[in-house]
Structure 1
Amino acid sequence: MNHRTTTHRRRVLAGGAIALAAALTLAGCGDDSGPKAAKKPEIKVSGAFVPEPTMDDMAAGFLTLDNAGAADKLTSATSDIAGDVTLHSSKNGTMKEEKSFDVPADGELEFTRGGNHLMLEKLKRKPKQGEKVALTLHFQKSDPITIEVPVKEATYNPKQQGGSAHGSHKSH
């Protein structure tokens, strides 16, 4: 080999090594283990309650989902005392069953009287004030969250009780 061929080959190899190093560096930017890792949903439940039902076969559930992470979606709920739990929205006095609710990133989703709520249908027993009802929330991305929800008086409304919808009932 002559000097010109050897020099050319070294330049090609050096250029290839630089390109490879750059590609590996850029590939590392997508690594989920570093400080800039993609956020995951971080959902906590607060202010949950079920008003003592006036009907034998149906009750409502209210709560707030606080999300300190990425967006998620509440897809369903289940309860040990209900044959079915459905998701509902209320707008302009009209109640509508929903398939899911978005839980916004770094935000909250509220279930309140006159707004979004859970309907516990086909009750196996009528819960009484002072009891707790198990409720499991199912999400698109997050693991299910099971909470023990207190049964309050039928007219209970935390916003009218001098507190916020969040109350002091933190659950996990």
Structure 2
Amino acid sequence: MPKFQFLSQWLAATLIGFTLLGCTPQSTPDITVSDGYVRATFPMAKTAAVYFTIHNASGVDVRLARVSVDSAVASDAQMHTSEMQNDMMQMRQIKEGITINAHDIVEFMPGGYHVMLIGLANGLEAGEDVELTLHLEQHEPIVLILPVKSSKGEGNHHH
């Protein structure tokens, strides 16, 4: 019986090792996200803004293709940018994705790139958390748990 037990343990360890090897990203870029938060809204708001910083510590460019949010929070999540047009600040949806160059950062912040949560199920209050997923090309999705923070001292940024 000990011989059978040894063989079954060896086989299990070997299979686990091969499984882990198959799941280990061999050339996955080192992507991290920091300073993320969702701006709190009023109770009947239908949109909310999301901000964060993406760090690409790898030697290759990475494309953020899209973002998504749980449908219990909002019906859609879209990447947007703010641009000056005809002396007015305009918001534009970014459908083509955003490239994060090798060894660089991209900031999603007020007045620049940001994510809009559209069709909120409920207003978002400070102290809550929102799960946002970043979908990168050639990379596993990154799931963020972002705190909702008060927008005191900042102008309302809802479109």
TM-score (norm 1): 0.65
Is residue 58 from structure 1 mapped to residue 50 from structure 2 by the alignment? no
Tell me the equivalent position of 1:85: 77
Distance 2:153 2:68 in 1: 22
Q: Deviations over 1:30-64 (max 9, x none)?
A: xxxxxxxx964211010001110235211000000
Secondary structure of the equivalent of 2:106?
A: strand
Larger Rg over CA atoms? 1
Q: Deviations over 1:66-96 (max 9, x none)?
A: 0101211111111121110011011222211
| 8 Å CA contact retained: 1:51, 1:156 | no
Out of 138, 143, 149, which is 2:140 matched to? 143
Structure number with higher strand proportion: 2
1:156 and 1:107, CA in 2 relative to 1: closer, same or farther beyond 3 A?
farther
Distance 1:51 1:156 in 2: 12
Tell me the equivalent position of 1:160: none
Out of 93, 118, 122, which is 1:121 matched to? 118
- Cα RMSD (Å): 1.7
Equivalent AA in structure 1 for residue 39 of structure 2: P
1:39 and 1:106, CA in 2 relative to 1: closer, same or farther beyond 3 A?
farther
- The CA deviation at 1:125 is 2.0
Tell me the equivalent position of 2:57: 68
Segments of structure 2 that go 5 or more residues without pairing to the other structure are: 1-25, 155-159
Distance 1:151 1:74 in 2: 22
Distance 2:153 2:103 in 1: 28
Tell me the equivalent position of 1:169: none
Aligned residues: 120
Which segment drifts farther, 123-132 or 142-151?
A: 123-132
- The CA deviation at 1:107 is 0.5
| 8 Å CA contact retained: 1:51, 1:155 | no
Equivalent AA in structure 2 for residue 94 of structure 1: Q
Distance 2:80 2:142 in 1: 19
TM-score (norm 2): 0.70
Secondary structure of the equivalent of 2:152?
A: coil
Out of 131, 150, 155, which is 2:152 matched to? 155
